[in-house]
Structure 1
Amino acid sequence: MQAENLGANSLPQRLITVLAFLAGYVDTFGFVGLFGLFTSHVTTNFVLIGANIVGQGQGVLLKLSAFPAFIAGVAVAKCAVEFSVRRGVSAERAIYVLQAVCLSFMMFAGLAALPVHSADSAAVIVAGLFGAIAMGIQNGHSQLVLAGKPLTTTMTQNITLGVIDAIEAMMGRGAETKAAARARFADTLLPVCGFAVGAIVAAIAWVQASFWALLFPVTLLAILALRASTEACAVGE
């Protein structure tokens, strides 16, 4: 699915930054609230599983279950986009609503698990599953709707490209090449900063409000869904 067909090229840079903030928030929230679970960087969970096996940390089942849940989230995003395109409705709106629903279930399951003592409790695992599904949906969103834009969930590639563009901006041949590199660098720098801020805010929010703090990203996604719906109506969907 080409991004042009879904109107991705008209998306403002601030939206990419907001989504990166959300990813940093949820990923950090899962880590501090669910025994070191990474809801977005699911391959990192394999490292933690290895550590768990030799007695470092806990929650092997939780981290193992996050991988198929993440895959399911990507599949859900793909199906939602295909269904939306066939019906001629906003794919973005569907993505945001689905992600908000999953994060709501993560919040309710987490609240049911309180006080959290065991990584193997059913409520904790359910919370982790829905968190991984939510971030799988956002990862799918990055590839399906935001193709060609900086990633909103994993910052390693953005940082790598940012370093390359920074060097190109200083050492590139020709003014146009340097200007293009500077523009790309700015595009990648903002989501990296957004992700970092989201991570810090999530850690503070967890301490202050526990799983209730997930109301913040749920509300943020609801606003984005409303925005996508309003824009779709404006273009005569």
Structure 2
Amino acid sequence: MSSLNAKMIPAVLSVVAGSVDAIGFLGLGGLFTAQVTGNLVILVAHLVAGRGAPAATILAVPVFVTALGLTRLLAGALESVGFASLRPLLLLQLLLLCGFFLLCASAGAHIDPDATKAIFAGMLGVSAMAVQNALVQISLKGAPSTAVMTTNITRVMMDIGEMMLGRGPTDVAKVRDRAKRTWPAIVGFAVGCGLGATCETAIGLRSLALPAGLALLAVTMGTTAKIEGDQD
């Protein structure tokens, strides 16, 4: 059971990322919480065109980068005392997503994207996704990205090509195993986007309860997951 949980956590996290991204995009004026590339494109495009970029978009990239750095330092501190980082980082992500949800829910189904509360809430969402991106790299060695689907789709198609070319049995087995680990993240992200968009359309930013609930599930799974290199 513990091994199964470890394999399922990336799939659950991909649904979290997809739903948060879709809800944030629709409810916070086009803010990407999980896709920092999207925010960077919007920011540079506005600056080059001489248009004022939304405050949340301006802040998203530095906040994302800062949260990544702080997450790595936290994980390093945990590792230095022999404490596995997966569970604390999953819990940190959950707390940030809960803060994101509570701030948005307190403002009603819809909120002015340029309001201070909306900007601060959006940065909590961006920080939560930064933590998720970092923990996949740090605590789930060998897992695919749970938020960057361009890389995942490219990897799967390259692996399918390798299998079709009929390389040696060892190479084919390797790429087949990698494809098996990658495709659930792609499907999970797409499902998350669909669920997030549907819920946001129906109940607005209160739909952030969905990714928060899924993050709680990930924390629960993390408490029993057996991760390679786990020292607990």
> Are 2:38 and 1:44 equivalent residues in the alignment?
yes
Equivalent residue for 1:211, pick from 170, 180, 205: 205
Equivalent residue for 2:125, pick from 131, 139, 144: 131
> Are 2:177 and 1:183 equivalent residues in the alignment?
yes
Equivalent pair of 2:39/2:57 in contact (CA under 8 Å): yes
Aligned residues: 226
What is the correspondence of 1:25-174 to structure 2 with a 5 Å cutoff?
25-52=19-46, 54=49, 60-114=54-108, 116=110, 118-174=112-168
Secondary structure at 1:192's aligned position in 2?
helix
Change (3 A) 1:13 1:151: same
Equivalent pair of 2:9/2:221 in contact (CA under 8 Å): no
Whose RCO is larger (CA < 8 A, sep 6+)?
2
CA positional deviation for 1:24: 0.9
What TM-score do you get using the length of structure 1 for normalisation?
Answer: 0.84
Q: Percentage identity across aligned positions?
A: 30
Gaps spanning 5+ residues in structure 2: where?
none
Residue-by-residue CA offset, 1:190-236 (whole Å, 9 max, x unaligned): 1111110011000011122322222222222223223333458xx99
Secondary structure at 2:36's aligned position in 1?
coil
After TM superposition, the structure 1 stretch with the greater mean CA deviation from structure 2, 174-183 or 188-197, is 174-183
Change (3 A) 1:138 1:117: closer
Secondary structure at 2:154's aligned position in 1?
helix
Gaps spanning 5+ residues in structure 1: where?
1-8
Change (3 A) 1:12 1:94: closer
Secondary structure at 2:16's aligned position in 1?
helix
RMSD, aligned α-carbons: 2.6
CA positional deviation for 1:11: 6.5
Between the aligned partners of 1:224 and 1:174, the Cα distance in structure 2 is 37
Residue-by-residue CA offset, 1:136-190 (whole Å, 9 max, x unaligned): 1011112211232211111111111111100000003223322322222222111
What TM-score do you get using the length of structure 2 for normalisation?
Answer: 0.86
Residue-by-residue CA offset, 1:109-148 (whole Å, 9 max, x unaligned): 2224446463321011011110100001011112211232
Equivalent pair of 1:73/1:135 in contact (CA under 8 Å): no
Equivalent pair of 2:40/2:61 in contact (CA under 8 Å): no
